[in-house]
C-alpha cells in the first residue's frame, strides 16, 4: 500500500496537556491510518483521549495542549509543519469536522442559507452562485423543503435537521477527511438512525474518508470498515469492525463488550459483567500494560513490561496474551440474584389513574402528559421508554410530587391517596417514594460532603435514634460499594460512577418501597453503567423495592424491567410485560423505536419514521402518532384517538386502531 492512498496517517503521536507546570500525557504513541474512502471508527470511554485526537488532527487543541512527538500526515502533507496560512487552507479544502452538538456548531443569529453560502463566498463565488450551491448541498443531505430551510434560523429546526445542516456544511468543501465526533449522541434514537442512514449513503456516494468517534460500539460496528479501541490514550486494539466486535482480542475490548446488556438477557438471567477499578489518570506512569491494573488476565509480565502492538492477520492488539483474551475471567460473579419476586395476586403498590400535566403560559398550553394510568407491583420494575418530549421525566416528577397533576388525576400508594405536591404528603409517604436523578452533578449538593448528603436523609426520613445513624450510614455505603474513606469528600472529587452510587445510597437511606430512576445511567460510561444496573438489581432483590426505570437506552430498560410502558407525546401507546413489548405484537411506534437501536448482532430491517416529532403545544388530533406512522390506516387515525386495546396477553395493551393480531403479522 503506497503512502499516497492514505488520507490520514498518524504515527507515534504523543500529546500532553500542560497543567500547573506539568505535562500530563493524554495520548501515548498512537498510530493509525485511514485509507481513501475508508471509514474508521475510534471507540473509547470518556477520558480515553478520542476527542483530543480529533482536535489534534485539525490543530484545534486548547492552548495548553502540546504535541510532544510523532507526525500527522493528511493527504501526504505533514500537519505539524504547516504555517498558519497553510493550516487555514487545509481546513478550508481538505478536512471537515462535525461535532456532537449541532445547536452549538451553528451561528444562532444567521439564517441557514447565509451560513452555508458563507463557505462558498469565502472561496470567491458571487452571492447568487453561493446561494444556489447552498441549496444543492441541502439536497445532498436529503432535506426536502430546501427553500424554506434556507430561510430559517437554527433554533427553528429540530436537532436532526440541524445536524443535517452541519453535515452539509462539512461536505461543502468536498473534504478528503471528514471527522465525526459523536455526531448522534445528542439525538433521539429515531433521529439518530436517520442521520446514520444519511452518513451511510454519503459514504457510498463520495470518496471521503471518515473518522468516526463514538463511545457506542454497536454504532461503530454499523458505520465503519475498521475500528480502533482507545484506552487511556493508548490504542489497544485495531482491526476490521465486525471482527473486532465479534471476536475481540484485547481484554479491554472483551470487557467492554461484556458490559452491554445482551439482547434478551435480563436481570433474571445473569448479572452484567463489569470492568473492575478505574482508568489511570492522565499523567500516571505505568511500568507495564495500561490495562493491567484492571485486567483479570494480568500477570507479572503485564505489570512490568508494556506490550507492543502485535499484528495477527490484518488486525493487531496490544496484549501479551491476545490468544486467550477471551478467556478473561468475569469481574462479577455470575450467580443469579435471589429474592427477585413479584406476586401479581398482591394489590399494586402504586396506582396512577388518568394523570395529565399541562404547562400553561399566557399564550399556549403544553400538554406534557395526557391521561396516563399505570400500576406498579411490589418488587417490580416498570420501564418507561420514549424519546425526548414524550413526557417520561414529567411523569417521574408527578409520581414523586415535584409537580402536581392536573385536576382529575389520582395517585394512590398502598391504597392511600397521595397528595399532588410532596409538601402535602405524609412523612411516611415521602419516605416510601424516592427518586434517583439523571445527573448526579446537579442532584448532589456540591458544598456538602458525602456524610452530610446521606445524614440529612437519615435525620429527615430515617427515623433512627442518633446513636444508630453512623452504623446505618456505613451500612448504606457498603451496600452501594462506596469506600468509607469517601465520607468526608465533596462530590467534585468523586468520579461520575461514584457520584451516582452516592445518589443511590441517598435514595435508599430512608428505606423506600418505590424508587423512581430517571435515566440514572445516561451520563455514565458503559462499564460504569453495567455496575450501576447490577447494583440496582441487587438492591431490588435485597429490599424488594419497586422501580420506575426511565431510560432512552432500550438495552438497559430490557435488562432491568419486568414491564415496560411506551410513551409518545405524553400518551401511553403501549404497556405490557417486558418480553412481550420486545417480541411483539408492537405498536408501530414501539416497532420503530426497537428497530432504531443499532445492534452488535447485525442490523434488523429498520422501520423508518417519517417527519419530525410534532410539538406538544399542537398535538395532532386523533392518534397522536398518525403524522409519522408507517401503518396509518386512513381518516380514522386522524380523527379518532384509539383506546388502549388488549394485546397478545393479559396486561399487554396497545393504543392502535389495528388489532393486535394484525400488528403481529406484520412484525413477523
Partner 1 sequence: MSRHWQLLLRSGAFVSGMLIILFWAACALFGRLFAPFDPFAADVLSTLTPPSAAHWFGTDQLGRDVLSRVIVGSRDVLEVAPLATALGLVLGVLLGLTTGYFRGLIDEAVSRVIDAVLALPLVIIALLALSALGASSATVIVVVGFIFTPLIARTVRAAVLAERALDYVAAAQLRNEPTLRILLGEILPNIMPPILVEATVRLGYAIFAVASLSFLGFGIQPPSPDWGLAVSESYGLINGGIWWPALFNTLAISSLIVAVNLAAEGIQATADA
The CB-of-505 to partner 1 minimum distance in angstroms stands at 12
Q: Which stretch binds partner 1 (CB under 8 A): 102-110, 394-402, 547-555, 575-583?
A: 394-402
Residues in contact with 356: Cβ distance below 8 Å, sequence separation at least 6, in sequence order: 367, 369, 370, 371, 372, 405, 406, 408, 409, 570
Whose Cβ is closer to partner 1: residue 245's or residue 399's? 399
Distance of CA 194 to the CA centre of its chain: 16
For residue 172, state whether it binds partner 1 (rule: CB under 8 A): no
Q: Does 119 bind partner 1 (CB under 8 A)?
A: no
Which member of 2, 361, 447, 467 binds partner 1 (CB under 8 A)? Answer: 447
400 binds partner 1, rule: CB under 8 A = yes
Q: Which stretch binds partner 1 (CB under 8 A): 192-200, 242-250, 329-337, 442-450?
A: 442-450
Question: Which of residues 427, 635, 643, 650 is near partner 1 by CB under 8 A?
Answer: 427
C-alpha cell at 641: 384517538
Nearest 5 degrees, angle CA 45-CA 519-CA 373?
Answer: 155
Q: Which of 116, 432, 435, 450 binds partner 1 (CB under 8 A)?
A: 435
Within 26-45, the residues that bind partner 1 by CB under 8 A are none
CB of 461 to partner 1, least distance (A): 5
**Minimum separation from the CB atom of position 521 to partner 1 (A):** 16
Instruction: Report the residue number, 282 or 401, with the smaller CB distance to partner 1.
Output: 401
Q: Per the omega criterion (within 30 degrees of 0), is the bond before 35 cis? A: no
**Which x/- pattern over 347-386 shows residues binding partner 1 (rule: CB under 8 A)?**
----------------------------------------
What is the closest distance, in whole angstroms, from the C-beta atom of residue 536 to partner 1 in the complex?
Answer: 18
DSSP conformational letter for 438: S
Which part of the chain contacts partner 1 (CB under 8 A), choosing from 12-20, 24-32, 52-60, 431-439?
431-439
- Looking at the chain, how many residues does it have? 668
Q: Binding of partner 1 at residue 460 (CB under 8 A)?
A: yes
Q: Does residue 490 contact residue 446 with C-beta atoms inside 8 Å?
A: yes
Stretch that binds partner 1, among 150-158, 444-452, 532-540, 580-588 (CB under 8 A): 444-452
Q: What grid cell was written down for 294?
A: 484492571
DSSP string, 485-527: GGTT--GGGS-HHHHHHHHHHHHHTT--SEEEEESTTTTS-HH
One of 437, 486, 589, 625 touching partner 1 (CB under 8 A): 437
Q: Which of 430, 524, 573, 597 binds partner 1 (CB under 8 A)?
A: 430
Q: Which H/E stretch holds residue 311?
A: strand 310-312
Inter-residue contact 187 to 197 (CB < 8 Å): no
In terms of CB distance, is 347 or 427 closer to partner 1?
427
Closest C-alpha to 279, from 325, 234, 344, 219: 234
Report the residue from 31, 71, 332, 439 that binds partner 1 according to the rule CB under 8 A. Answer: 439
- What's the rounded Cα separation, in Å, for the pair 221 and 238? 13
Return the C-alpha torsion angle 26, 77, 183, 121, nearest 10: 130
- CB neighbour list of residue 173: distance below 8 Å, 6 or more residues apart: 92, 93, 94, 96, 119
Give Cβ neighbours of residue 280 (< 8 Å, ≥ 6 apart). 232, 286, 290, 293
Size of the site for partner 1 (CB under 8 A): 25
State which residue, 402 or 603, has the beta carbon closest to partner 1. Answer: 402
Chain positions 495 to 524 lying near partner 1, rule: CB under 8 A, are 506, 510
Determine, following the binding rule CB under 8 A, whether residue 120 of this chain makes contact with partner 1: no
Give the list of residues 6+ apart from residue 446 with CB closer than 8 angstroms, or none.
490, 491, 492
> Which residues are at the interface with partner 1 (CB under 8 A)?
400-402, 422-423, 427, 430, 434-435, 437-439, 442-448, 456-457, 460-461, 506, 510
Amino acid at each position: 500500500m503506497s503512502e499516497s492512498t492514505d488520507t490520514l496517517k498518524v504515527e507515534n503521536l504523543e500529546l500532553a496537556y500542560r497543567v500547573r507546570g506539568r505535562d500530563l500525557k493524554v495520548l501515548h504513541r498512537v498510530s493509525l491510518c485511514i485509507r481513501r474512502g475508508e471509514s474508521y471508527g475510534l471507540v473509547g470511554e470518556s477520558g480515553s483521549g478520542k476527542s483530543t485526537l480529533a482536535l489534534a488532527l485539525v490543530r484545534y487543541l486548547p492552548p495548553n495542549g502540546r504535541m510532544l512527538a510523532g507526525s500527522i500526515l493528511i493527504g501526504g502533507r505533514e500537519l505539524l509543519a504547516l504555517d498558519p496560512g497553510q493550516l487555514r487552507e487545509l481546513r478550508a479544502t481538505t478536512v471537515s469536522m462535525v461535532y456532537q452538538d449541532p445547536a452549538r456548531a451553528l451561528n444562532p443569529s444567521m439564517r441557514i442559507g447565509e451560513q452555508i453560502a458563507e463557505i462558498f463566498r469565502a472561496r470567491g463565488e458571487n452571492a447568487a452562485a453561493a446561494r444556489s450551491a447552498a441549496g444543492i448541498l441541502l439536497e445532498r443531505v436529503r432535506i426536502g423543503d430546501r427553500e424554506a430551510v434556507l430561510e430559517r434560523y437554527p433554533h427553528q429546526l429540530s436537532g436532526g435537521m440541524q445536524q443535517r445542516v452541519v453535515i452539509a456544511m462539512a461536505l461543502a468543501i468536498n473534504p478528503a477527511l471528514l471527522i465525526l465526533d459523536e455526531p448522534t449522541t445528542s439525538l433521539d434514537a429515531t433521529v439518530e438512525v436517520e442521520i446514520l442512514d444519511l452518513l451511510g449513503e454519503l459514504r457510498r456516494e463520495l470518496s471521503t474518508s471518515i473518522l468516526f468517534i463514538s463511545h457506542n460500539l454497536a454504532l461503530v460496528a454499523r458505520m465503519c470498515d475498521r475500528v480502533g479501541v482507545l484506552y487511556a490514550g493508548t490504542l489497544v486494539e485495531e482491526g476490521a469492525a465486525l471482527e473486532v466486535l465479534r471476536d475481540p482480542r484485547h481484554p479491554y475490548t472483551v470487557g467492554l463488550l461484556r458490559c452491554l446488556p445482551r439482547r434478551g438477557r435480563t436481570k433474571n438471567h445473569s448479572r452484567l459483567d463489569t470492568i473492575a477499578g478505574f482508568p489511570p489518570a492522565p499523567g500516571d506512569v505505568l511500568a507495564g500494560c495500561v490495562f493491567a491494573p484492571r485486567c483479570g488476565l494480568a500477570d507479572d509480565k503485564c505489570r512490568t513490561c508494556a506490550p507492543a502492538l502485535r499484528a495477527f492477520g490484518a488486525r493487531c492488539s496490544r496484549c501479551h496474551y491476545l490468544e486467550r483474551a477471551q478467556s478473561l475471567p468475569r469481574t462479577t460473579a455470575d450467580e443469579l440474584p435471589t429474592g427477585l419476586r413479584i406476586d401479581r395476586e398482591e394489590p399494586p403498590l402504586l396506582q396512577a389513574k388518568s394523570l395529565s400535566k399541562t404547562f400553561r403560559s399566557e399564550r399556549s398550553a403544553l400538554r406534557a402528559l395526557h391521561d396516563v394510568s399505570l400500576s406498579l407491583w411490589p418488587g417490580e420494575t416498570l420501564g418507561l421508554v420514549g424519546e425526548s418530549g414524550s413526557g417520561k421525566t414529567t411523569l417521574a416528577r408527578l409520581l414523586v410530587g415535584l409537580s402536581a397533576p392536573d385536576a382529575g388525576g389520582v395517585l394512590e400508594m398502598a391504597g392511600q391517596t397521595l397528595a399532588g405536591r410532596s409538601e402535602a404528603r405524609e412523612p411516611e409517604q415521602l419516605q416510601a417514594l424516592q427518586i434517583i436523578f439523571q445527573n448526579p452533578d446537579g442532584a448532589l449538593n456540591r458544598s456538602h460532603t458525602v456524610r452530610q448528603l446521606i445524614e440529612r436523609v437519615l435525620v429527615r426520613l430515617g427515623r433512627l435514634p442518633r446513636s444508630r445513624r453512623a452504623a446505618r450510614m456505613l451500612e448504606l455505603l457498603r451496600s452501594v460499594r462506596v469506600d468509607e474513606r469517601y465520607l468526608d469528600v465533596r462530590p467534585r472529587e468523586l468520579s461520575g460512577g461514584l457520584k451516582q452510587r452516592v445518589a443511590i445510597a441517598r435514595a435508599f437511606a430512608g428505606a423506600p418501597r418505590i424508587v423512581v430512576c430517571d435515566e440514572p445511567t445516561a451520563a455514565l460510561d458503559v462499564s460504569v453503567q453495567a455496575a450501576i444496573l447490577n447494583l440496582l438489581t441487587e438492591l431490588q432483590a435485597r429490599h424488594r423495592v419497586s422501580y420506575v426505570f426511565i431510560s432512552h437506552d432500550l438495552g438497559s430498560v430490557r435488562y432491568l424491567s419486568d414491564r415496560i410502558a411506551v410513551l409518545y407525546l405524553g400518551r401511553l401507546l403501549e404497556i405490557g410485560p417486558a418480553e412481550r413489548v420486545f417480541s411483539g405484537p408492537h405498536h408501530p411506534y414501539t416497532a420503530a423505536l426497537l428497530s432504531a437501536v443499532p445492534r452488535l448482532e447485525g442490523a434488523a430491517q429498520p422501520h423508518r419514521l417519517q417527519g419530525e416529532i410534532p410539538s406538544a403545544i399542537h398535538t395532532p388530533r386523533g392518534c397522536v402518532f398518525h403524522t409519522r406512522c408507517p401503518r396509518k390506516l386512513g381518516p380514522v387515525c386522524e380523527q379518532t384517538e384509539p383506546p388502549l386495546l388488549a394485546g397478545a396477553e393479559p396486561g399487554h395493551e396497545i393504543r392502535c386502531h389495528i388489532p393486535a393480531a394484525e400488528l403481529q403479522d406484520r412484525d413477523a
